[in-house]
Structure 1
Amino acid sequence: MVSVMSPVVWVLTIAGLLGLVAFDLVVIARRKHAVTIKDATRWVLFYVGLAGLFALGLFLFAPGQSGSEFVAGYVTEYSLSVDNLFVFVIIMARFAVPGPAQDKVLYVGIVVSMLLRAVFILAGAAAISAASWVFYVFGAFLVYTAVRLALEGESDPDDFKENAVLRGLRRILPLAQDYDGARLTTRANGRRQLTPLVIVIAAIGTANVIFALDSIPAIFGLTQDAYIVLTANAFALMGLRQLYFLIGGLLERIVYLNVGLSVILAFIGVKLIVEALHGSHIDDLGAIHLPHIGILTSLGFIVGTLFVTTVVSLVKSSYDSRRAAVRVKADD
C-alpha cells in the first residue's frame, strides 16, 4: 500500500476522524428539532473549514504534492457526493421519513458508508500496488461511468427500486409498519420490533457504497497515496449530511450536474489510462504524444468544470422559470 505518511500520523488521523464522528453523534443526540437551514449552513462551513485546515497542514508539513492531491481529491469526492444527494432525496421521499428522523438516518448511513469505503480504499490500494494494469481497469470503468451518467435522465421518487440487500432485510427482520419518531426500535403487537428507519439507513448506506464504485477509482486517478484517498473521502462524507439539508431544495436547479460530473469522470479516466501507458513506457500513440497531466492541471480542470456546470445550470433554470411564468400569465 502506497503512503508517504508514517504509522504515527495514520493512527493520529484515524483517532481524529473517529473523534469527529463521535462529536457529531453527540450533537445529533442533543438536537431536539429538525435541522434548519441555519444549522446546516453552520455545520457545512465547519466541515469545509476543517478540510481546509487539514489541507493547509498537508501543504506545510507533508512531503511532495500531498496538499494539492488532497484538495483535488476532496473537491472531486465532494462534487461526486452531491450526486448522492439526489438519491438521498428520493429515498427520503420514497419512505416518507419524518423530518426529525432524517438527520439520524443520514448520520448512521454515512458512518456505515465510511467504514465500507475504508475497506474499498485499502483493497484498491493493494490492487494498484500489486498490478499496474489495474489503472487500465479503473480508467476504462470511469470512462464507461461517465458515458452512462451523461445519458441518465432526471431522477424521480417513483424510479427508486429496492435492491437485494433491502429486500433481504425485509424478509429476515421483524419490522414494524410505522415510524416511532427517530427511534430504531418500537413495541408493536406486544413485541419489540425494528422501525422502517432501519431499512432507510440500509438504503442510504448501500447507495453510498454503490457511488463509491465510481468515486474511489476517480480519486485513485489523482493520487495513489492511500492516506490522501482515505482522508479526502472521510472529509467529503462528513459534510455530506449537512449539505443535504442545506441544498436539498436547490438540487433541481443544477440541471447539468450529471453532464459536469461525467466530464470530470471521463477526464480522470483518460488520465488514468495515460498514466498506465506511461508506466508501460508508452509515451506516444502513433503521431499523438501522451502528455503528463499534473495534479494542478487536474485540480484546475475539475474546479473549472464544476464552475461552468453550476453557472450554466443556474442560467438555464432561471430562463426556464421565466418562460414558465410567462406561459402562466398568457393562460390567465
Structure 2
Amino acid sequence: MDVSAGVWWLTIVGIAGLLLFDFVFHVRKAHVPTLREASIWSSLYVGVALLFGAGVWLFGGADPGAEYFAGYVTEKALSVDNLFVFLVIMGSFKVPRADQQKALLFGIVFSLVARTGFILLGAALINTFAWVFYLFGLILLLTAGNLLKPEGGDGRSPDNLMVRVARRLLHTSDTYDGDRLFTVQDGKRVMTPMLLVMIAIGGTDVLFALDSIPAIFGLTQNVYLVFTATAFSLLGLRQLYFLIDGLLDRLIYLAYGLAAILAFIGVKLVLHALHENNVPFINEGEPVPVVEISTGLSLSVIVGVLLVTVVASLASPKGRAQNTVSGVRRYAEAYLDVEHDPVVREELFDRLLVKEEQLRQLPERYRREIRDEDRLLALLRRAHEEHDRAGPSAGRPV
C-alpha cells in the first residue's frame, strides 16, 4: 500500500491535534476523571482507531486493513501491560490521583516519539538486512519466555536507570505542588517530584518499545501501518488507565496471553525469515520452503487468545481474590500517604470499606495466600485510626 506525503502529513497533524485537544480540554486543569468521563473518551478514541482501520480497509484493500487491525489489537494489548507498570510508578512516587493525568499524557507523547524512532530504525534495518527478521523473532520468543517466569511481571522496576541518574543529578522538593514541574521552596525555585515521575514513565516506555516494535513488524512491514497502529493504540491510554485500574489486578492471565501472542508472532517472523533467507550458513544462503502464516490467521489467533485470556481472568476466583487484596492495599496506602484533599480521601476510605468487606468474604484458602498479611492488617489499622482522628464526616460534602 503506497501512501503519499500528503496523507502522511495529514495523519501526523491529526494525531498531534488529538494530543493537543487532550491536553487543553482534559489535562491542563488537574482533576480526577469520573468513570463516565473515562468511559466516554476511551470509547471515542477506540472508535476513531476503528474508523481509521475501516478507511484503510476500504481504500487500501483487505490485506492492509487486516494488517492494521492485527497490529492495533496487539499494540493495544501490550499497552494494557504498560498500565500495570504505570500503576506501580504512580504508587512508588505517591502521585495524587488528580495530578496523574499530566504524567500519563507525557508518557504517551514520549512513547510515541520514541517508538517513531524505533519504527524508522526497524524499517531501515529490514530494508538493508534480511536477517533482522531472525533477530526480531528471537527477541519476541525471549520476551514471551520472560513473561512466563514468576517474576516476569515485576521485571520492569519504576526505579530504572534513567530515574537513578535523574535522582543523582536533579534535586527535587519532597512534596508535590499540584502537577507543576517547578515550585518555590524557601524562596528558591526547585523541581518537584513530578519530573522524576515523567522520567520514570518515559524510561519504562523505551523498554516497552523494544518489545512492541518487533511484534508489530512481525504483522506488517508497511511503515505507515506500523506507525498508525502504534499511535492509535497509545491514544486514549490515559483514559483507559482511569477506566480499568480497578480491574488490572483481575487480569491474572494477561501475562500468559501476551506471552502466547508474542511467541506466535516470533514464530511467524522466523518462518518469514526462512522464506526470505539469504544468510550464508542457513540452507547455503537459499530460501527455505516453509509455510508462512497469513495475516488473517494472525488476526484470528491474536483476538482469540485475548478473548480467552480476559474471560478466564474475569471468571477466576483467584483473580477476584487478588483484585480485592490489591485494592485494599492500594486504597489504604493512598488514603494514608498520597492524597491530601479531604473529599478525595473520604471517597478512598469509602472504597476501602467496600474492599475490606469483600476481603472478609474471601474463601479461607485465598486469605491464607495473602502475602505480608500482618503488614496489610497493620496498614488497615493505621487507616482506621487516621480516619477516626479526622472524624467520620471529614471530607464529606455539606
Q: Which amino acid aligns with 1:188?
A: Q
* Paired residue secondary structure (1:74): helix
Counterpart-to-counterpart distance in 1, 2:68 and 2:305: 18
Distance 1:32 1:146, change over 3 A: closer
Match of 1:140 in 2: 138
Match of 1:149 in 2: 147
Matched, 1:210 2:200: no
Distance 1:327 1:253, change over 3 A: same
Indicate the larger mover: 64-73 or 197-206: 64-73
Match of 1:269 in 2: 266
Within the candidate set 182, 185, 191, 2:182 is matched to 185
* Paired residue secondary structure (2:316): helix
Q: Which structure has the bigger radius of gyration? A: 2
How far does the alpha carbon of each residue in 1:3-33 deviate from its partner, in whole angstroms, 9 at most, with x for none?
6211111111111111111111112245452
Matched, 1:241 2:278: no
Equivalent runs, 1:1-332 vs 2, <5 Å = 4-29=2-27, 31-63=29-61, 65-153=63-151, 160=157, 162-280=159-277, 282-284=287-289, 290-317=290-317, 321=321, 325-327=362-364
Counterpart-to-counterpart distance in 2, 1:52 and 1:319: 30
Give the superposition deviation at 1:283: 4.0
* Paired residue secondary structure (2:184): strand
Distance 1:92 1:319, change over 3 A: closer
Ranges in structure 2 where 5+ consecutive residues have no aligned partner: 278-285, 322-357, 369-398
Ranges in structure 1 where 5+ consecutive residues have no aligned partner: 285-289
Counterpart-to-counterpart distance in 2, 1:179 and 1:207: 22
Distance 1:274 1:86, change over 3 A: same
Distance 1:137 1:195, change over 3 A: same
Give the superposition deviation at 1:60: 1.1
Distance 1:5 1:184, change over 3 A: same
Counterpart-to-counterpart distance in 2, 1:136 and 1:300: 23
Q: Which amino acid aligns with 1:254?
A: L
Distance 1:42 1:304, change over 3 A: same
Say which structure, 1 or 2, has more relative contact order (CA 8 Å, 6+ apart). Answer: 1
Give the superposition deviation at 1:152: 3.6
Counterpart-to-counterpart distance in 2, 1:178 and 1:222: 45
Please report the TM-score for the alignment, with normalisation by the length of structure 1: 0.91
Give the superposition deviation at 1:64: 6.0
CA RMSD of aligned residues (A): 2.3
Give the superposition deviation at 1:327: 2.4
Match of 1:287 in 2: none
- Contact 2:134 / 2:273 at 8 angstroms: preserved in 1? yes
Counterpart-to-counterpart distance in 2, 1:98 and 1:320: 26
- Contact 2:147 / 2:153 at 8 angstroms: preserved in 1? no
Give the superposition deviation at 1:231: 0.6
Counterpart-to-counterpart distance in 2, 1:39 and 1:314: 23
Q: Which amino acid aligns with 2:17?
A: G
- Contact 1:178 / 1:195 at 8 angstroms: preserved in 2? yes
How far does the alpha carbon of each residue in 1:26-68 deviate from its partner, in whole angstroms, 9 at most, with x for none?
1224545211211111111010000011001111112562211
Give the superposition deviation at 1:319: 7.7
Indicate the larger mover: 159-168 or 52-61: 159-168
Give the superposition deviation at 1:263: 0.3
Give the superposition deviation at 1:184: 1.2
Equivalent pairs counted in the alignment come to 323
Counterpart-to-counterpart distance in 2, 1:101 and 1:246: 16
- Contact 1:95 / 1:200 at 8 angstroms: preserved in 2? yes
Give the superposition deviation at 1:99: 1.1
* Paired residue secondary structure (1:33): coil
* Paired residue secondary structure (1:187): strand
Q: Which amino acid aligns with 1:92?
A: M
- Contact 1:179 / 1:195 at 8 angstroms: preserved in 2? yes
Give the superposition deviation at 1:313: 1.3
Counterpart-to-counterpart distance in 2, 1:219 and 1:306: 16
Please report the TM-score for the alignment, with normalisation by the length of structure 2: 0.77
